[in-house]
Amino acid sequence: METKHIEERIVSDLEELISESCGKNQNDERYRELHRDLLRNHYNAADVDIDYHRKRIRMFVLADNASYRPGKVNLNLPVLHVNLLFKNLKAFLTGCLQTDRKSLSFYAQLLRRFRAGKRQAVLY
Protein backbone atom coordinates (compact mmCIF):
# COMPACT_ATOMS: atom_id res chain seq x y z
CA MET A 1 0.00 0.00 0.00
CA GLU A 2 2.78 2.42 0.97
CA THR A 3 4.75 1.53 -2.17
CA LYS A 4 1.76 2.32 -4.38
CA HIS A 5 1.43 5.73 -2.70
CA ILE A 6 5.11 6.50 -3.32
CA GLU A 7 4.84 5.45 -6.97
CA GLU A 8 1.79 7.68 -7.47
CA ARG A 9 3.58 10.56 -5.75
CA ILE A 10 6.62 10.24 -8.01
CA VAL A 11 4.49 10.24 -11.17
CA SER A 12 2.34 13.10 -9.86
CA ASP A 13 5.38 15.23 -8.96
CA LEU A 14 6.96 14.56 -12.34
CA GLU A 15 3.72 15.52 -14.13
CA GLU A 16 3.75 18.82 -12.20
CA LEU A 17 7.37 19.39 -13.17
CA ILE A 18 6.54 18.69 -16.83
CA SER A 19 3.66 21.18 -16.65
CA GLU A 20 5.96 23.78 -15.14
CA SER A 21 8.69 23.10 -17.71
CA CYS A 22 6.33 23.44 -20.68
CA GLY A 23 5.07 26.84 -19.53
CA LYS A 24 6.77 30.19 -19.72
CA ASN A 25 10.16 28.84 -18.58
CA GLN A 26 10.60 26.61 -21.62
CA ASN A 27 13.85 28.35 -22.59
CA ASP A 28 15.50 27.41 -19.29
CA GLU A 29 18.34 24.97 -20.05
CA ARG A 30 17.49 22.82 -17.00
CA TYR A 31 13.98 22.25 -18.36
CA ARG A 32 15.32 21.45 -21.82
CA GLU A 33 17.67 18.88 -20.27
CA LEU A 34 14.71 17.41 -18.36
CA HIS A 35 12.79 16.98 -21.63
CA ARG A 36 15.77 15.29 -23.31
CA ASP A 37 16.32 12.99 -20.32
CA LEU A 38 12.69 11.87 -20.32
CA LEU A 39 12.84 11.09 -24.04
CA ARG A 40 16.20 9.30 -23.74
CA ASN A 41 14.78 7.09 -21.01
CA HIS A 42 11.47 6.32 -22.76
CA TYR A 43 12.82 5.66 -26.26
CA ASN A 44 16.27 4.34 -25.26
CA ALA A 45 17.71 7.09 -27.44
CA ALA A 46 21.36 8.03 -27.76
CA ASP A 47 21.04 11.58 -29.06
CA VAL A 48 17.93 13.73 -28.62
CA ASP A 49 17.38 17.17 -30.13
CA ILE A 50 14.11 19.07 -29.63
CA ASP A 51 13.15 21.85 -32.02
CA TYR A 52 10.60 23.76 -29.94
CA HIS A 53 9.65 26.14 -32.76
CA ARG A 54 8.96 23.48 -35.39
CA LYS A 55 7.57 21.10 -32.74
CA ARG A 56 9.88 18.32 -33.86
CA ILE A 57 12.03 15.79 -32.02
CA ARG A 58 15.05 14.23 -33.70
CA MET A 59 16.80 11.31 -32.03
CA PHE A 60 18.84 8.19 -32.61
CA VAL A 61 17.16 5.15 -31.06
CA LEU A 62 19.09 2.00 -30.23
CA ALA A 63 17.71 -0.72 -32.54
CA ASP A 64 18.86 -3.75 -30.54
CA ASN A 65 19.02 -3.62 -26.75
CA ALA A 66 20.86 -6.95 -26.59
CA SER A 67 23.96 -5.51 -28.26
CA TYR A 68 24.23 -2.60 -25.80
CA ARG A 69 26.74 -2.99 -22.96
CA PRO A 70 27.01 0.11 -20.73
CA GLY A 71 30.55 -0.70 -19.59
CA LYS A 72 31.92 -1.25 -23.10
CA VAL A 73 32.56 1.43 -25.72
CA ASN A 74 31.02 0.35 -29.02
CA LEU A 75 30.69 2.82 -31.86
CA ASN A 76 29.02 0.33 -34.21
CA LEU A 77 25.70 -0.11 -32.42
CA PRO A 78 22.67 -0.34 -34.72
CA VAL A 79 20.63 2.85 -34.36
CA LEU A 80 17.56 4.25 -36.11
CA HIS A 81 17.22 7.91 -36.97
CA VAL A 82 13.76 9.03 -35.81
CA ASN A 83 11.85 12.26 -36.39
CA LEU A 84 8.72 12.80 -34.30
CA LEU A 85 6.27 15.69 -34.51
CA PHE A 86 4.22 16.87 -31.55
CA LYS A 87 1.32 19.29 -31.17
CA ASN A 88 1.48 19.68 -27.40
CA LEU A 89 4.83 19.03 -25.71
CA LYS A 90 3.29 18.64 -22.25
CA ALA A 91 0.88 15.94 -23.45
CA PHE A 92 3.64 14.24 -25.42
CA LEU A 93 6.05 14.09 -22.47
CA THR A 94 3.34 13.04 -20.03
CA GLY A 95 2.45 10.22 -22.42
CA CYS A 96 6.04 8.97 -22.18
CA LEU A 97 5.78 8.31 -18.43
CA GLN A 98 5.88 4.67 -17.40
CA THR A 99 5.25 3.03 -14.03
CA ASP A 100 7.73 0.15 -14.06
CA ARG A 101 10.35 0.04 -11.29
CA LYS A 102 13.28 1.05 -13.50
CA SER A 103 11.44 4.11 -14.82
CA LEU A 104 10.18 5.13 -11.37
CA SER A 105 13.72 4.94 -10.02
CA PHE A 106 14.92 7.13 -12.90
CA TYR A 107 12.10 9.64 -12.28
CA ALA A 108 12.94 9.81 -8.57
CA GLN A 109 16.56 10.63 -9.47
CA LEU A 110 15.38 13.33 -11.89
CA LEU A 111 13.15 14.88 -9.24
CA ARG A 112 15.93 14.78 -6.64
CA ARG A 113 18.41 16.36 -9.05
CA PHE A 114 15.94 19.03 -10.09
CA ARG A 115 15.00 19.93 -6.51
CA ALA A 116 18.69 20.17 -5.57
CA GLY A 117 19.23 22.50 -8.53
CA LYS A 118 16.35 24.71 -7.42
CA ARG A 119 17.73 24.97 -3.88
CA GLN A 120 21.15 25.84 -5.25
CA ALA A 121 19.65 28.55 -7.49
CA VAL A 122 17.92 30.11 -4.46
CA LEU A 123 21.23 30.29 -2.58
CA TYR A 124 22.80 32.48 -5.27
Calculated CA dihedral for residues 111, 42, 63, 71, nearest 10 degrees: 20
| Sheet of strand 79-85, all strands in order from the earlier edge strand to the far edge | 45-51, 56-62, 79-85
Enumerate the H helices of the chain as residue ranges.
2-21, 29-43, 89-95, 101-123
Q: In the prediction, which pLDDT does 96 show? A: 94
**What are the residue ranges in the chain where pLDDT is below 50?**
121-124
**pLDDT for 18-50, tens place per residue?**
999 998 767 789 999 999 999 999 998 888 999
- Locate the domains of the chain by residue range: 2-123
CB 37 within 8 A of CB 22: no
Query: For the chain, how many residues are written?
Result: 124
Q: In the prediction, which pLDDT does 115 show? A: 83
Q: In the prediction, which pLDDT does 54 show? A: 96
> Residue 110 CB: number of other CB atoms within 10 A?
19
Q: In the prediction, which pLDDT does 122 show? A: 40
